[in-house]
Amino acid sequence: MSIKEYSPNGFALNIFRDRYAIHEEETFAQACERVSRTIADAEMGTKRDEYFVRFLDILQTNRFSPGGRIWRGAGRQRGQMLNCFVWTDDLDSREGWGDALRGVTIISGTGGGVGINFSRVRPRGTLIRGTGGEATGAVSLMRAINAVCNELREGGGRRSALMYCLKYDHPDLMEFLESKLDKKELNNANISVVIDDTFLKLLDAEEDVVFKWHGDEMRRVPAKDIWEKIVENALESGDPGILNIGLANTMNTISYRHDLVSTNPCGEIWMPPYDCCCLGAVNLHTHIIDGDIDWDMLEETVAMSVRFLDDVLDQNNYPMTIIKETCQKYRRIGLGVMGLHDMLLELDLKYSSQAAIDVVDKVMDFVKKQAYHASIILAVEKGSFHAFDVDQHIRTGFVKKCLPRRHHRLIKEHGLRNCALLTIAPTGTISIVAGCSSGIEPLFQPVYERRFNTHKDMHNNKARDKTMEIVVHPLLKKFLKAKRSTKHFQGAHDIQPNAHLAMQAICQKHIDNSISKTINLPKDYSVAQLSAEMRKYIGELKGITVYRDGSKGESPLVPLPLSEAKKHLDHMTEEAAVDDCPTGTCDTMKGEK
The residue-averaged pLDDT of 219-225 equals: 96
φ and ψ at 558, to 5 degrees?
-115, 115
Report which of residues 448 and 547 the model is more confident about.
547
Percent of the chain clearing pLDDT 70 (strictly above): 90
Query: Distance from first CA to last CA of the chain, Å, rounded?
Result: 27
Please check whether residue 403 is in contact with residue 366, taking contact to mean a CB–CB distance below 8 angstroms.
no
Q: What is the DSSP letter of 133?
A: -
Q: What is the DSSP letter of 172?
A: T
In tens, the pLDDT along 298-312 reads: 999 999 999 999 999
The verdict on residue 99 lying in a domain is yes
Please check whether residue 235 is in contact with residue 548, taking contact to mean a CB–CB distance below 8 angstroms.
yes
Q: Burial of 216 by CB count in 10 Å (0-12 exposed, 13-18 middle, 19+ buried)? A: exposed
Residue 581: its pLDDT value, please? 44
Report which of residues 264 and 537 the model is more confident about.
537
The residues near 592 (Cβ < 8 Å, ≥ 6 apart) are: 19, 67, 68, 69, 72, 83, 111, 428, 429, 430
Report which of 149, 154, 151 is spatially closest to residue 164, judged by C-alpha positions.
149
26 included as an active-site residue: no
264 included as an active-site residue: yes
Which residues face 270 on adjacent strands?
263
The verdict on residue 330 lying in a domain is no
Percent of the chain clearing pLDDT 90 (strictly above): 73
Other CB atoms within 10 Å distance of the CB of residue 77: 6
Residue 554: its pLDDT value, please? 67
The verdict on residue 498 lying in a domain is yes
Kindly give the pairing relationship between strand 288-289 and strand 292-293.
antiparallel
Kindly give the pairing relationship between strand 162-167 and strand 216-222.
unpaired
Last residue of a domain, one of 250, 266, 293: 250
At residue 464 the predicted structure's pLDDT band, cuts being 50, 70 and 90, is low
Which residue type occupies 407? H
- CA dist., res. 53 & res. 228, Å (int): 54
Residue 364: its pLDDT value, please? 98
Report which of 116, 149, 31, 114 is spatially closest to residue 79, judged by C-alpha positions.
31
The verdict on residue 553 lying in a domain is yes
Q: Is the pLDDT reported for residue 155 higher than 60?
A: no
Which residue type occupies 527? V
Q: C-alpha dihedral over 8, 13, 15, 21, to 10 degrees?
A: 90
The verdict on residue 187 lying in a domain is yes
Structural domains of the chain, count? 2
Which residues face 116 on adjacent strands?
164
Last residue of a domain, one of 181, 215, 250: 250
Rg (CA), the chain: 23
Please check whether residue 100 is in contact with residue 110, taking contact to mean a CB–CB distance below 8 angstroms.
no
Say what the pTM is.
0.92
The Cα diameter of the chain in Å comes to 78
Q: Burial of 45 by CB count in 10 Å (0-12 exposed, 13-18 middle, 19+ buried)? A: exposed
Q: Mean pLDDT lowest for which of 115-124, 171-180, 247-256?
A: 247-256
φ and ψ at 519, to 5 degrees?
-95, 105
Helix (H, G, I), strand (E, B) or coil at 415: coil
Residue 569: its pLDDT value, please? 66
Q: Is the pLDDT reported for residue 257 higher than 90?
A: no
Q: Is the pLDDT reported for residue 507 higher than 70?
A: yes
Which residue type occupies 429? T
Q: Burial of 339 by CB count in 10 Å (0-12 exposed, 13-18 middle, 19+ buried)? A: buried
In tens, the pLDDT along 335-362 reads: 999 999 999 999 999 999 999 999 999 9
Annotated active-site residue in 32, 266, 327, 507: 266
The residues near 18 (Cβ < 8 Å, ≥ 6 apart) are: none
The residue-averaged pLDDT of 182-207 equals: 93
For residue 541, the enclosing domain spans 435-590
Q: Burial of 37 by CB count in 10 Å (0-12 exposed, 13-18 middle, 19+ buried)? A: middle
The verdict on residue 162 lying in a domain is yes
Which residue type occupies 458? M
268 included as an active-site residue: yes
φ and ψ at 183, to 5 degrees?
-100, -5
The verdict on residue 262 lying in a domain is no
Residue 461: its pLDDT value, please? 54
Buried-state track 183-200, b at ≥16 Cβ within 10 A, e below 16: eebbebbbbbbbbbeebb
Report which of residues 473 and 114 the model is more confident about.
114
**CB-side exposure of 110: number of CA atoms within 13 Å?**
26
Annotated active-site residue in 33, 43, 175, 268: 268
Which residue type occupies 553? G
Strands (E), 334-420: 334-338
**CB-side exposure of 208: number of CA atoms within 13 Å?**
8
Helix (H, G, I), strand (E, B) or coil at 557: strand
Kindly give the pairing relationship between strand 113-117 and strand 292-293.
unpaired
Q: Burial of 277 by CB count in 10 Å (0-12 exposed, 13-18 middle, 19+ buried)? A: buried
The verdict on residue 286 lying in a domain is no
- CA dist., res. 582 & res. 444, Å (int): 5
Annotated active-site residue in 264, 283, 418, 520: 264
At residue 154 the predicted structure's pLDDT band, cuts being 50, 70 and 90, is low
Last residue of a domain, one of 234, 250, 266: 250
